[in-house]
Structure 1
Amino acid sequence: MGLNLLFIVSGTLITGAANSLLTKFQDNQCVRNCSFNNNNLQEGTKPEYFNQPGIQTLQMFLGELLIYFVYLIYRYNKIKNNQIESNNNEISWYSNLKLAIPAICDLSCTTLLNIGLIYIPVSIYQMTRGSVVLFVAIFSTIFLKRKISNFKWLSLIFVTLGVCIVGLSGSSKSGGEEGQKDIKMIIFGICLVIGATSLQGIQFVVEENILEKNPIIPLQLVYIEGLFGSLILISLMILLNFIFKFKLTQEEFLNSPFNLYESFYQLISNKIILGTSFLIMLSISSFNYFGLSITHQVSATARSTIDTCRTLLVWLIALIIGWESFKFLQLIGFIILVFGTLCFNDVITVEQFNWLPNWLKENDKISNLEDEESRNLIDEEIEERLIGK
């Protein structure tokens, strides 16, 4: 059991970090004018890189769709061991169109994340995504009528402060007109990532609502979202290709990410990009499986703690391979962000701070009991239906 848990935790860390690092690696791949020389810069000869957020979002959905094969193995084993009936009434692909809602949120979120990643360092991208707990808390309060204690609201203030400091560290470049332009694009990228995490918060709340009210396995939720997302995205890519083909000039359309032919040509013609695409799909499907298994075998809190370690791993690798330079301000922001996240997820509890005023403690126990009851309902559903006992 110990070795199995170690394997799952390691798999979550490695595949989770690989998702962000491989996507950034793709962004750094040159696809045109790659023989550019700084000594003889000419107009129009600047190298162009693989900036195709639509293709990268499709990779993610296809990776989620691969979970279907894991689900088939799970279902076969359950039927073989007489643990479920072969004709049980689990939700089908077509019986609940509500599953398209989190898929649309996921599509929009991932596309914005991929665009934002083009403009900002991968570690800041990963850290800024930590703001998702803030949006999940807000949307859970509004739509699921959850009560959050004063202490957890305070922890969310720390999360917000940490994200702001991390963003400030990323926009602290200086030096001339080009430097000012870089700062604007970094701020733009950070805003895109924060906007994406707000959509991700909606997605998580909708998914939780679906799991509470429908007889659906979390594995099934993942691959059905992958199916809906792939179909919606491919349809949008085809539609936007024809719209922008007539709205843009020939030269503008050639360099546009809406040019479907050029997007797939860049993907297929570059062996490095094509190879990393398959790795990303495999990594995403594995990450979903490992993540669900972590929730099953330990707890959702443990998964959030491991996710914090994943962020640190992404940052360390980016520093080691020379993509980024160390910034003390970023470290401070990351520490504050992690502290707020751990407090919100009950890894650090209010009882550990005896000096806190009573108004921070008074509704914490009641809130925790209510949260625990609601979490147990979902955890029981997951425990009954997840892979691998």
Structure 2
Amino acid sequence: MMLTGLYLTYISSFQMLRVAALIFVGIFGAIHLNQTLTARHWMAMFTISCGIVVIMSVDVHRVEYDRSSLPKWDGNAVLTGNLLVVFAQIFHAAKFIYDEKYLKGTDIPTMLATGWQGIFGLLFTLLLGFCLNFLPSPVPLNNNTREVFDDLGDVIPQIRSNPTLWAPVIIFIISSACYNFASLTIVKYSSSANRLLADGLRIFLIWWMAFLLEWEMFNLITIMGFIILQMGTIAYRNAIFIEWYRSLLARLMRNRYADLTVETGNEGGEAGVSTNRPADAI
């Protein structure tokens, strides 16, 4: 579902919308891991939802002038791709919570878990690809001679005619293995939410590559949506904003009670403490 959405929308929007998994991770974590969702978590989820709405609305409009990376210049197709990416995060979040519950409940090595995920993923992909090979598809998902969702018979001829296609395939396999291993390590020793927080760092690299290769145009409103998403993600993990709030509150309290230690001289010149105000309880 995510790769289908990627085919219909922008690469930067695809990566940013994956942050929506944090909302479902919080909900599933409260249900299956007995995690407590405070007001801070709900506020962060609301902030992330606002960022998602901003990005989706901008994508529908910018398709009119930014057509360099889309196969179909249709706002409805872009909106469909974005919705597919967001909807796929429900299953992604369920997988994250299952990984966390299983890895922390058993003593399975991370490398072994990564290997089994790769094996089952390969088998399931082959089964799904065989089924989609006979599934008729509407526009814009039928860009092949047989007008089906995924033409497996066309894979080998394309690779033979263009051997450079092996490079992205090999890079995808290696990067997926490294990504899954690093993600499972974070989940095993931390949490699924921290896994998504670290995963958000990839957005900077993807944006840099997209602009460098001129696949997308710079859009200020999209940058604003990205900032809103990052604010929600950071607030959810109590990474920066809560610490800033606590530091500011502590400074204000220190300034308020600083005069308690100030000694004033009495009429005899001896040091004393002013008693012309009611006692403060610290």
Structure of higher RCO (CA pairs closer than 8 Å, 6+ residues apart): 1
1:281 offset after TM fit, Å? Answer: 0.8
Contact kept, 8 Å, 1:140 with 1:146, in 2: the verdict is yes
Aligned match of 1:270: 162
The answer to whether 1:130 aligns with 2:19 is yes
Partners in 2 of 1:299 and 1:146 — Cα distance? 11
CA distance in 2, matches of 1:303, 1:211: 14
2:94 to 199, 202, 216: 202
Aligned to 1:167: 56
Selected match of 2:217 from 316, 320, 325: 325
Post-superposition Cα deviations, 1:79-135, rounded to whole Å, max 9, x if no partner, equal: xxxxxxxxxxxxxxxxxxxxxxxxxxxxxxxxx111111111111111011111111
1:337 Cα offset (Å): 0.4
User: Among residues 227, 235, 238, which one is paired with 2:130 in the alignment?
Assistant: 238
Residues 298 and 230 from structure 1, CA distance in 2 versus in 1: closer, same or farther, beyond 3 angstroms? closer
Quick check: 2:135–2:148 contact (8 Å CA) kept in 1? no
Q: TM-score, normalised on structure 1?
A: 0.54
Deviates more, 1:180-189 or 1:152-161: 180-189
After superposition, the Cα gap between the structure-2 partners of 1:252 and 1:300, relative to the gap in structure 1 and judged at 3 Å, is closer
- The match for 2:44 is 155
Q: Who is 2:272 aligned against?
A: none
Q: Which has the higher helix share?
A: 1
1:193 is matched with 85
- Mapping of residues 194-343 of structure 1, within 5 Å: 194-241=86-133, 254-292=146-184, 304-343=196-235
Post-superposition offset of 1:212: 2.8
Largest Rg, 1 or 2: 2
- Once the two structures are TM-superposed, the CA of residue 150 in structure 1 deviates from its matched residue by 0.8
Deviation at 1:219, TM superposition (A): 2.2
Identical counterparts, % of pairs: 25
Counterparts in 2 of 1:283 and 1:268: CA distance versus 1, 3 Å: farther
- How far off is 1:304 after superposition? 4.5
Where structure 1 has 5 or more consecutive residues not aligned to the other structure, the ranges are 1-111, 245-250, 357-389
- List aligned pairs for 1:20-39, cutoff 5 A: none
Paired residue secondary structure (2:74): helix
3-state DSSP of counterpart to 1:254: coil
Give CA deviations for 1:19-46 in whole Å, capped at 9, x if unaligned. Answer: xxxxxxxxxxxxxxxxxxxxxxxxxxxx
What root-mean-square deviation, in Å, do the aligned CA atoms of Structure 1 and Structure 2 show? 3.2
Question: TM-score, structure 2 length as denominator?
Answer: 0.73
Change (3 A) 1:207 1:315: same
With over 3 angstroms needed to count, the CA separation of the structure-2 counterparts of 1:252 and 1:219, relative to structure 1, is closer
- Asked if the contact 1:301–1:347 (Cα under 8 Å) also holds between the matched residues in 2, the reply is no
